[in-house]
Amino acid sequence: MQYSSKVMEHLMNPRNVGELENANAVGMVGNAKCGDIMQMFMVIDDNEVIQEVTFKTFGCGAAIATSSMATELVKGQTIKEALALTNTAVMEALDGLPPVKVHCSVLAEEAIRAALADYYTRKGIDPTPIVGEIKPFGEDDDDHHHDIPEEE
């Protein structure tokens, strides 16, 4: 499987790794059955700007690289700007991903949305109209990559 130099750079030197003790937005997505689990931590200020963002990912190299790149792309952004980030934009920022690894970029987008949903929930605001429907962590999704064979 061929990865771009940017994917390799983010895999070997991931940015923003770890847990934020003072996070006011935490989201976890993935499914233990398929092995990819992402957790995002954010500190969002009163102006709804993402001041800090970190991640913890259990998964393949592409999952780590997409998590790292996603944190770089939303750091310093407003919530509205972060919600506009798509998995395609994450892939483009990494100069592409092999087709069997596209799901990793989807997880990165979902992790950001899950953290933002948590932010609104903590404020007593229903997040669904703002961030969309968030699948509970660990819920199996049939459209995931279970039937795609891994390349050697």
Q: Active-site residue numbers?
A: 34, 104
For residues 13 and 29, the answer to whether their CB atoms sit within 8 Å is: no
Burial tier of 141 (Cβ tally within 10 Å: 0-12, 13-18, 19+): middle
The DSSP annotation for 63-112 comes to: HHHHHHHHHHHHTT-BHHHHHT--HHHHHHHTT---GGGHHHHHHHHHHH
For residues 48 and 80, the answer to whether their CB atoms sit within 8 Å is: yes
For 72, the token pair is: 């770089």
Count Cα atoms within 13 angstroms, Cβ side, for 50.
27
- Short-list 115, 106, 103, 128, CA closest to 77: 115
For the chain, the first-to-last Cα distance in angstroms comes to 7
